[in-house]
Amino acid sequence: MDVRSYTREVQLLIGEIQNNRGKNSKAVLGACDRLEEIGASLKDDALLGYAYFSRGETYYLLNNAKNFYTQMLGCLGPLEHVHEWNYVAMANNMLGIVSLNRGNAPFALDYFIKAISICHDYSLPDIEWMIHLNLGSLYLNIEEYQKALNHTEIAYRYVTSHQDMDDYTECLTTTLLGMGRSYLKLEQISHVLEIEKKLKVECMPFLQDNEKLVIYCFFARTHDLMKEFEARDYWIEKVNDQLSLMIPIMDVFDDFYDYLEMLLNIEKYDDFFETYDILDELTKHTSIKNLERKLLTLKIRYFRRVGQIEEYKISSVLFFELSEYMERDNRLMVSNMIVMRNSYMELTQINRKVEEQNTFLQKRSETDPLTGMYNRLKLNDYSEKAFDKALINRTNIAVEILDIDYFKQYNDNYGHQAGDECIKTVAKILIEIANEDGIFSARYGGDEFVIIYEGFSREMVETKALDLRERIYNSNCEHRFSLTDNRVTISQGICYGIPKDDETFFMYLQGADKMLYEVKEQSRNNLKICDAKELYTKG
């Protein structure tokens, strides 16, 4: 998604989401809500899909599976429509993780396969390695340990060959632990010890204490397998010291489940319940009944082992109730999977038609459906070429942004249908002027429009901009709720100049936006033009 094509508010919202991701969930969710409002008003699938995706990702980190599932399924259609395949692949990957946690490996496999297929089709190796890692977890769950190892090794090779990637240490840790879990199941002690050494040397010195918890669990299991009980008990104590409610449980549940199973088997019951109680609270927060049920099986085994018959009976009844709930949950997953598969089949058919009717669909994708004008997609393409041409030929170019004065008041009082007609009236005049003078114009979003003047002097640009304002005024479109006139008027901001090597079209667009902002702050129903060199000199 090219954020440069959006308004200042949208860019700030996207920046807020990216800067607070994984740090401040409240800020992310608030920004997503506002971004969704804007996306809905503009009928912009890219913004809608990104808002749903970012909300889903946040709920995932908050261990809130119910809200995660709704948001991630909601993002697929819009993001597929605008071909944001990286986000589509990541969404399917996370849906696979949650489906696996819900106890439905076939559904998880479908999500993972779709995600890998997208990665292959659109060359996304930086996402594909994560899916292989999760496929490793899936095969571990169904006790296909060698297949699990094969997939995890693919992920490990990618990570170690990209040491400049973001969060390299965390990614390396995750892949090493994935391989380590497989080696433990296969009881390949030499490989387990090799993984332990790598974790101690290459990962632990660079991780926060809470990020080491899963490593401690792995070390405890390693030394238990080797019958080195003193070392095992040391790592158990380390887990007890660091365990908290801040664990992203959906990412590490299997690691802790294996660790709890070890504690139960070696009859470390106090340590078992100390860890169990925290994980039980975390899994209840996810609303994933399969995780609760898996944990409960360990408690049932404990009650049976120590002869606590009444507790054993109560837990068994709860196990049955959770199983019934899971059946209902899985029926909902079936419904969602059918919708997803149908969506994917429809997408395949659409892509085939795109290949057959490329010219027609390209023109359609570049046109705003309400006004018939060019849209932002065409603006992005045209502006880049126009600016490059002006840069090479050292010719003048001007960028104008205009909007309708007090358009919100117009919409609120006359209604949205009348508001659409008002926008169409302005668009019709813009199209007429573009046809007469060979000037490019596009709908930028809402009641905002962009015009590109190529090869005109500053005086000619100003004359044409004033002519546009007069034509719109003379269209005599009533606006009794405007604070400047009794009919529809516009405000205009223009940035003009001969481009330099270090300047971009986006800088001119920002300059025009700044002029528009100043007009709206001062009076509205006016025009303000600046030379690009003056703008940057003033800062």
Give the Cβ contact number of residue 165 at 10 Å. 13
Give the chain's end-to-end CA distance (angstroms, integer).
28
How much of the chain, in percent, has pLDDT values that exceed 90? 60
Q: What share of the chain is helix, strand, coil (3-state, %, to 5)?
A: 75, 5, 20
How big is the chain, counted in residues?
A: 539
Q: In what order do the strands lie in the sheet with 397-404?
A: 440-445, 448-454, 397-404, 490-497, 527-531
Give the pLDDT of residue 177. Answer: 96
Q: Among the residues of 187-228, which ranges form H helices?
A: 189-198, 213-225
**Could you give the CA distance from residue 493 to residue 475 in angstroms, rounded to a whole number?**
21
**Could you give the CA distance from residue 410 to residue 328 in angstroms, rounded to a whole number?**
48
Nearest CA to 397 among 278, 495, 533, 276?
Answer: 495
**For residue 339, pLDDT beyond 60:** no
**Could you give the CA distance from residue 477 to residue 164 in angstroms, rounded to a whole number?**
58
Give the pLDDT of residue 285. Answer: 80
Give the pLDDT of residue 332. Answer: 54
Q: In CATH, what number does 100-207 get?
A: 1.25.40.10
Give the pLDDT of residue 463. Answer: 93
**For residue 142, pLDDT beyond 50:** yes
Q: Among the residues of 458-539, which ranges form H helices?
A: 458-474, 505-522, 532-538
Sign for the CA dihedral angle at 217, 218, 219, 221 comes to positive
Give the pLDDT of residue 173. Answer: 96
Give the pLDDT of residue 538. Answer: 46
Give the pLDDT of residue 539. Answer: 42
Task: Please indicate whether residue 386 or residue 349 has the higher confidence score (pLDDT).
Answer: 386
| Band of pLDDT at residue 328, cut at 50, 70 and 90 | low
Q: Given this chain, do its domains 100-207 and 376-538 carry the same CATH topology?
A: no
Which of 239-253, 289-303, 340-354 shows the lowest per-residue confidence on average (mean pLDDT)? 340-354
Q: Which two tokens stand for residue 240?
A: 């007890």
**Could you give the CA distance from residue 411 to residue 446 in angstroms, rounded to a whole number?**
11
**For residue 530, pLDDT beyond 60:** yes
Segment 350-374, tens digit of pLDDT: 455 545 555 555 555 678 889 989 9
**Could you give the CA distance from residue 409 to residue 67 in angstroms, rounded to a whole number?**
35
What mean pLDDT is predicted for residues 329-334?
56
**Residue 191, CA atoms < 13 Å, CB-side half-sphere:** 15
Task: Please indicate whether residue 347 or residue 199 has the higher confidence score (pLDDT).
Answer: 199
What mean pLDDT is predicted for residues 159-176?
94
Give the Cβ contact number of residue 191 at 10 Å. 16
Which of 131-140, 245-254, 356-365, 450-459 shows the lowest per-residue confidence on average (mean pLDDT)? 356-365
What burial class does residue 81 get, using C-beta atoms within 10 Å of its C-beta: 0-12 exposed, 13-18 middle, 19+ buried? middle
Question: Which residues contact residue 432 at a Cβ distance below 8 angstroms, ignoring those fewer than 6 apart?
Answer: 471
Give the Cβ contact number of residue 200 at 10 Å. 12
Give the pLDDT of residue 340. Answer: 46
**For residue 189, pLDDT beyond 50:** yes
**For residue 494, pLDDT beyond 70:** yes
Segment 442-465, tens digit of pLDDT: 999 889 999 999 999 999 999 999
**For residue 344, pLDDT beyond 60:** no
Give the pLDDT of residue 323. Answer: 74
Which of 175-189, 310-324, 448-462, 500-514 shows the lowest per-residue confidence on average (mean pLDDT)? 310-324
Are the beta carbons of 224 and 262 closer than 8 angstroms? yes
| Band of pLDDT at residue 5, cut at 50, 70 and 90 | confident
Q: Which two tokens stand for residue 338?
A: 């059918």
Are the beta carbons of 452 and 465 closer than 8 angstroms? no
Task: Please indicate whether residue 325 or residue 186 has the higher confidence score (pLDDT).
Answer: 186
CATH 3.30.70.270 fits 376-538, yes or no: yes
Q: Which two tokens stand for residue 299?
A: 């408690």
| Band of pLDDT at residue 64, cut at 50, 70 and 90 | confident
Segment 389-433, tens digit of pLDDT: 898 888 999 999 999 999 999 999 999 999 999 999 999 999 998
Question: Which residues contact residue 379 at a Cβ distance below 8 angstroms, ignoring those fewer than 6 apart?
Answer: 5, 442, 444, 450
Give the pLDDT of residue 426. Answer: 95
Which of 175-179, 208-212, 411-415, 531-535 shows the lowest per-residue confidence on average (mean pLDDT)? 531-535
DSSP helix/strand/coil, 449: strand
Give the pLDDT of residue 141. Answer: 86
CA angle 530, 464, 509 (to 5 degrees): 40
Q: Which two tokens stand for residue 490?
A: 């516009």
**For residue 333, pLDDT beyond 80:** no
**For residue 317, pLDDT beyond 80:** yes
**Could you give the CA distance from residue 451 to residue 288 in angstroms, rounded to a whole number?**
52
Are the beta carbons of 52 and 71 closer than 8 angstroms? yes
**Residue 305, CA atoms < 13 Å, CB-side half-sphere:** 12
Which of 13-27, 60-74, 148-162, 250-264 shows the lowest per-residue confidence on average (mean pLDDT)? 60-74
The structural domains of the chain, with segments of one domain joined by +, span 1-83, 100-207, 238-325, 376-538
Are the beta carbons of 469 and 490 closer than 8 angstroms? yes
**Could you give the CA distance from residue 537 to residue 502 in angstroms, rounded to a whole number?**
14
Give the pLDDT of residue 326. Answer: 67
Instruction: List C-alpha distances in Å: 310 to 211, 307, 378, 424, 460.
Output: 38, 9, 71, 74, 91
**Could you give the CA distance from residue 17 to residue 30 in angstroms, rounded to a whole number?**
9
Q: Which two tokens stand for residue 354?
A: 């795109």
**Could you give the CA distance from residue 454 to residue 440 in angstroms, rounded to a whole number?**
9
What mean pLDDT is predicted for residues 277-298?
85
* Mean pLDDT value across the chain: 88
**Could you give the CA distance from residue 333 to residue 320 in angstroms, rounded to a whole number?**
20
